[in-house]
Amino acid sequence: MVDTCSICSTKTFHLTSLFVTDDGKKWRDSGLLKMVEVCKRIKIIKSVKKIPMICNPCIYKISKSFYNINNHKNHQDKRTVVCETIKSSDESKIPAVEENKNTDYIKEKSQLNKRPRNESHDNAIRKKLCQRNEEIIEPVIKQDLINNLDNDCLAKIFLYLPTIELFYIEQVCQRWKLVVQLAWQDTKKYIDNLYKNCNLLKQLHIEKIINRCGHHLNHLVLSKNCDSSIIKIIADNCHNLVRLELKFKTINENNFTRVFSRMAKLKVIKIEDNRDRFNTNDHITHILDSIPEGIEEIFFHSACNAFEHFNAIRLISLQHCEFGLDLMQKISLKKTIIYIDFEKSVLKSGLPLLSNLINLKHLNLDFVMGCTSEALVHITDECKNIKYLNLSACLGISNNALINIKKLINLESLYLQYLQNVNENVLTGIIENCKNLKCLNIAACSSIPGSVLDEINRLNKLEKLVITRLDNATDFMLIGFYNLKILRCSRCTNITDCGIMFVIQNCHNLEDLRVDETGVTDKSIHCAVEQTKLRKNNVVLQLVISLTMLKKIDDSINTSSFLKILSLP
């Protein structure tokens, strides 16, 4: 939250309160109040409406002034003591006057003689003080620990702060201004949505940041705070970029004329806008025309046919697009492609041509319109290296085509949710042949009988299992799992405490467990509390239960630091 400093009236994100409280009623000095009052010679009283705040540059200046005042005071006190000691030492050398002793002198001498003292010890101290007079009068060393660090170390510390704060830090002093320049040189990655207040950054601020550190960046991520006009600033400054991710509020195709021609090192580019509709390929053509030929990964929310000159491309992501045979033919010629993501796109034709990509490892057809049985058969016959396959909601695929999935023996992640054609033959073939599966999602596949579901525990490498909305799922299918990290069985009414408690007790890396609207009772909750108390791997278990059960649970039940109980709306 942006607030105003009570000292310099500067608006910034990071402010420190001059008052702190433990119970919300009694306020006390945070340690900075006294320093501000001494240095500014003012009296600060806590306001009912607004608590006095102070920014980081003011903290540094006031701390420096406060230590200077204290050191000066100690120096003056020390100098006074030393001078008095030296003076008394000089007076001791004056010869005593034996005549004309008045009574006052005798009285003063008699009083001095009454005090117990070690004359030999005093003389030694006086002699030592006289010999080392200059050393004793020197001021005390300042306890300014941060400025005792060298410039390189201080620059590393500054890199942990939000990038926008460097503009304020360089105004503190000349040395910090020099250190900030070193920090800019060490900035290799900038992500403008990395901090909570990133939406407060305007395009003008981001342009200033790019002008300062753009020559040193190799990874740049900009969120929707900018429009496509900033691409010209990026093109002028960021010549060493390897990865570029941009999400614009609006895109103007005229801003992309040969903007990437000087980015010879660029390997990954991701550009999207905020439009939900299917995008045309007009503006995306201008982008691709200037992209270096050595590009390896392309993420766009628009489709385009200009892929001919990308001979090293390895990854293509075209989401929410609409394209046909022409584009599929050009993609199928790129044998180097190993990753394809067509999520929520419309494919008019040409999907079977993907079978030419023999090195393909990742294929995402989630909610793709136009995915056919013929395409799946061709892909499973030729692309034997696929490790990730997502066919969620591809309703045009028959069960005979789904059986061919068993040919993908290297498969590690499989998503088949909402496919009613997944039957016992399909799942049995997957269990018997795809032994390397680590992730399986068969949510809402209601055609699978319970006897086949019970065989899923034979996949002993499984780490993520999603069986949401499966009425045939029982506790028996969960007995035998020891490596699960994620289990989601919401709305599986036949799953009870028996199966869930087995998973909690034996899967020590379990981090996500969803049992809302199942047959689970508070016994599983108590089991989760006791088991997470014994954890030594620092893995926190997030347990999702129904809202009704959450209301019945006593507040004191959640006593484990490795358990978080919640309910989804």
Structural domain boundaries in the chain: 146-186, 449-568
Residue 91 to residue 80: CA distance in whole angstroms: 17
Q: What SS3 state is found at 330? A: helix
Instruction: Give the pLDDT means over successive 10-residue stretches in the chain (569 positions).
Output: 75 73 63 76 64 79 75 56 47 43 42 48 55 43 65 84 82 86 84 57 79 85 76 84 80 72 82 54 58 75 59 81 81 88 87 91 92 92 94 92 94 95 94 95 93 93 95 92 95 94 95 94 91 91 89 69 85
What is the per-residue pLDDT for 109?
41
What is the per-residue pLDDT for 359?
92
What is the per-residue pLDDT for 27?
66
Q: What is the pLDDT of residues 352-366, one digit of tens each?
A: 999 999 999 999 999
pTM of the shown model: 0.64
What is the per-residue pLDDT for 475?
93
Residue 428 to residue 455: CA distance in whole angstroms: 8
Residue 341: C-alpha distances to residues 157, 299, 542 (Å): 39, 9, 30
Q: Which CATH number applies to 449-568? A: 3.80.10.10
Strand partners, 245: 221, 270
Cβ–Cβ < 8 Å for 299, 272: yes
**What is the residue-wise DSSP string for 334-369?**
-TT--EEE-TT-EE-S-GGGGGG-TT--EEE-TT-B
Burial of 50 (0-12, 13-18, 19+ CB in 10 A): exposed
